[in-house]
Amino acid sequence: MAWIWDDFNGFLLQLGFDSQLINRGPYIPPMPSVLVTFTFVGGAGELSEGALDDQSFQMRVRGDANDQSGPETMARQYDQLLVTAPIPQVIGSLNLRAIERTGSAPAPLGPPDDGDRFEYVSNYRMVVGL
């Protein structure tokens, strides 16, 4: 019962994410510089005898060269859209029951990449059901 990308992408657009910036991970292309990559990662799996599915995803925000505050601000704004999303809501064929950050607020991934671009990352858990 896991979400498929098209439904998840629709959910992001409903929240106000910029469709020009959304990238489906895990592949992160070298361009454009400013990019928001979402990658589904492992979760706890089925709950309540299969009535619910616990999934996780990572949001990774990259900014322009030599701009650390831009991606940090964008990551925090998008984080707020995710953690304050109206719950429950039906997206595609599934009902989103919960969404929460599984760790700290978006944090720097490390030093800038070879293009001097900074990245911020955060992880989330969502519970979906029929």
Q: What is the pLDDT of residues 71-111, one digit of tens each?
A: 999 999 999 999 999 999 988 877 888 899 999 999 999 99
Question: What is the predicted pLDDT for the residue at 121?
Answer: 98
What pLDDT band is residue 48 in, cutting at 50, 70 and 90? low
84: CB partners within 8 A, 6+ apart: none
Helix (H, G, I), strand (E, B) or coil at 87: coil
Q: Tokens in use for 82? A: 């995710």
Q: Number of folded domains in the chain?
A: 1
Structural domain containing residue 95: 5-129
Question: What is the predicted pLDDT for the residue at 49?
Answer: 59
Q: What is the CA radius of gyration of the chain?
A: 15
Question: What is the predicted pLDDT for the residue at 46?
Answer: 65
Q: Does the pLDDT at position 44 exceed 70?
A: no
We report the CATH number of the domain holding residue 75 as: 3.30.2000.30
